[in-house]
């Protein structure tokens, strides 16, 4: 496949403060430049976070969220960094639901090894996990490792890094999305062919507004594709 999943874009009211929170939460490095702030793992091809500025406060539950590994001690550490507990209607679940300082939900999974990295899962709402799983497997170059009525789970071909999980329930849409997935071209590969897979370009790609071209996946989720270098 000619593109690969490289990160998650997070729109922030205060880019510096929010990127600092996530860098401390994950133990990753902060790099500033080109109108955005990156928080990335040590691995060169690892999936990182890219923070860009927005003037719009968060509205509603995000359709994309992160899951981190850790037990009660990790939850206490994250709360000390500025996270808060939130109730999004999750009921009785074995994991903790927290929110970062700008209200972006994330989960802490108590029975999850951190061998795959400090982000265990990247989760995106999907009404039809089969369709979404097939699209993202082709678009991001990841393989489906598990699927069922609950959703679909994908992993990078290397078997390392976070998993990509898609399934219900689906949050009400808010535009633009606070978090969205980001792809980059694979060096030496041909055209990415995302529109052939079912994606559509959004507003001409908005290439002049942000540093990536913007697409919409088959269920209306915004995602970005970095330019070739």
State residue 208's pLDDT score: 44
Per-residue pLDDT tens for 13-23?
999 999 999 99
Per-residue pLDDT tens for 119-133?
999 999 999 999 999
State residue 133's pLDDT score: 96
Domains in the chain and their CATH numbers? 3-225 (3.10.180.10)
CA distance 67 to 162: 9
State residue 209's pLDDT score: 54
Q: What angle do CA 171, 175, 181 make, to 5 degrees?
A: 75
Residue pair 147/131 in contact (Cβ under 8 Å)? The answer is no
CA distance 214 to 212: 6
Residue pair 197/190 in contact (Cβ under 8 Å)? The answer is no
Q: Which H/E stretch holds residue 145? A: strand 143-148
Residue pair 63/8 in contact (Cβ under 8 Å)? The answer is no
- Token pair, residue 57, equals 């406060």
Name residue, tokens 């999750």. 90
Query: What are the DSSP calls for 213-225, one per residue?
Result: EEEE-TTS-EEEE
pTM: 0.92
Name residue, tokens 């001409």. 204
Residues of the chain with pLDDT under 50: 205-208
């Amino acid at each position: 496949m000619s593109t690969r999943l490289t990160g998650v874009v997070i729109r922030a009211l205060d880019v510096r403060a929010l990127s600092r929170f996530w860098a401390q939460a994950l133990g990753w490095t902060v790099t500033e430049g080109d109108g955005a702030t990156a928080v990335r793992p040590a691995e060169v091809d690892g999936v990182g976070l890219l923070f860009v500025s927005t003037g719009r406060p968060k509205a509603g539950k995000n359709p994309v969220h992160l899951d981190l590994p850790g037990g009660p001690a990790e939850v206490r550490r994250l709360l000390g960094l500025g996270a808060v507990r939130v109730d999004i209607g999750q009921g009785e679940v074995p994991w903790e639901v927290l929110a970062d300082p700008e209200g972006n939900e994330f989960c802490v999974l108590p029975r999850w090894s951190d061998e795959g990295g400090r982000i265990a899962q990247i989760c995106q709402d999907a009404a039809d996990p089969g369709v979404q799983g097939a699209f993202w497997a082709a678009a991001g170059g990841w393989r489906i490792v598990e699927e069922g009525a609950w959703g679909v789970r994908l992993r990078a071909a290397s078997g390392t890094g976070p998993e990509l999980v898609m399934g219900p329930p689906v949050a009400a849409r808010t535009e633009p999305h606070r978090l969205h997935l980001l792809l980059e071209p694979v060096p030496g590969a041909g055209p990415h062919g995302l529109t052939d897979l079912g994606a559509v370009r959004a507003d001409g790609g908005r290439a002049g507004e942000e540093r990536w071209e913007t697409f919409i996946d088959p269920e209306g989720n915004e995602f970005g594709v970095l330019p070739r270098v």
